Amino acid sequence: MTRPARPTTVPKVIDIPGELAASQEKYNGEAGRAFIEELPDLAAGFLDRWELEPDGPPMHGVSALVLPVVRADGGPAVLKLQLLDEESEGEPVALRAWDGDGAVRLLDHDEPTGTMLLERLDETRMLSDVPDTHQAVVTLAELLAHLTSFPAPPGMRRLGDIARAMLERTPRALDRIPDREARRLVADCAAAVREVVDEPGDRLLHWDLHDENVLASDRAPWLAIDPKPLAGDPGFELWPAIDNRYDPDDILWRFDAMTDVLALDRPRARAWTLGRLLQNALWDIEDGRPLDDDQLEIARRLRAHTA
């Protein structure tokens, strides 16, 4: 989460971070603008409903506003307000399943709006602040090993459905890649997914566990936040730790270390990690962006990795 540089002030309620408003408009258009316009009333309503007092400046990510608050009993918490969509609607379901075991604890939830009251962690201490990247990768892997030990609750989005949809979109996307080597690389990612798509797994996945989504806490050294949960194979979880603080010479070490900690079948994990790279490539192509060179290098090195 980042603090706003130039907030837009809403008197007597909250400061709406200008960066959050811009990202909502960029990614969600009219729905995002409406969400930003409704935020002051939404925040005020939940502060009153849950008997909360603001306790510091707001924080935000790309899609959510997070307000530090104090509860009626004096306990610290955070109020998370976000636009309800396919990803965010699964967040409270996953947090309830983990029940604070390896992840932030859910204290209250409003299903119609997706608003959540969460325990307050230490936002000043992120895993991204750990200078030793190998230590950070192992910490991420240990968290993932624990979180993915939980079976996915019924009704969770399923990796198998997402993977089949990606494969359906791939031929059209390949036609839009002018570079022959990049086109071959993306095609190979799709081929790897095709080999495992019929066994997509049933574990509860975080999907977005990078080193800024892991915060310190008084009750545990590190806890995960902001899941975008799926039901699937833990091999689909590895990409963020490989991409964080990108170092091309560290790609294979990170992959091997994580598969060891999670006790994963390495060929299957490699296929699902290439699937994650396929997902990113499809988003770039469909949004008219060039393919990311770092992403391509990760795919290139993993494709050749047979150890």
Which positions are annotated as active-site residues? Answer: 208
What is the percentage of the chain residues whose pLDDT exceeds 70?
95
pLDDT tens digits, 147-184:
999 999 999 999 999 999 999 999 999 999 999 999 99
pLDDT score of 61: 80
pLDDT tens digits, 181-229:
999 999 999 999 999 999 999 999 999 999 999 999 999 999 999 999 9
SS3 string, the chain, reads CECCCCCEEECCCEEECHHHHHHHHHHHHHHHHHHHHHHHHHHHHHHHHCCCEECCCCEECCCEEEEEEECCCCCEEEEEEECCCCCHHHHHHHHHHHCCCCECCEEEEECCCCEEEEECCEEEEEHHHCCCHHHHHHHHHHHHHHHCCCECCCCCCEHHHHHHHHHHHHHHHHCCCCCHHHHHHHHHHHHHHHHHCCCCCCEEECCCCCCCCEEECCCCCCEECCCCCEEECHHHHCHHHHHCCCCHHHHHHHHHHHHHHCCCCHHHHHHHHHHHHHHHHHHHHHCCCCCCHHHHHHHHHHHCCCC
